[in-house]
Amino acid sequence: MLPAHHLISTCPGIRFGKPCIVGTRIAVQDILGWLASGMSNAEIVEDFPELTEEHIRAALAFAANLEQRTRQLAA
């Protein structure tokens, strides 16, 4: 996994610098929250047509990579 995904960006002026899907104001944290609440990928894409399945996978990969780096730093 790469440290940052090409579909994820951070910009201080957008959502206070939270990692977001490129070209949107949808944060990785939003997508993770929707998935955690039980929404399916199809439901997310239906509610937010600017997103694709690839965006959702990118958000998951970004979060997994971040968690892995956090564990490495703690070791």
CATH topology of domain 8-74: Arc Repressor Mutant, subunit A (1.10.10)
Q: Where are the domains of the chain?
A: 8-74
pLDDT of 5 reads 81
**What is the reported pLDDT for 39?**
98
Name the band, by pLDDT with cuts 50, 70 and 90, for residue 67. confident
**Torsion angle in degrees (nearest 10) through CA of 48, 37, 19, 52:** -30
Residue with tokens 């579909």: 7
Residue with tokens 């199809």: 42
- Give the DSSP H or E segment for 66: helix 53-74
pLDDT in tens, 20-35: 999 999 999 999 999 9
Tens of pLDDT, residues 23-66: 999 999 999 999 999 999 999 999 999 999 999 999 999 999 88
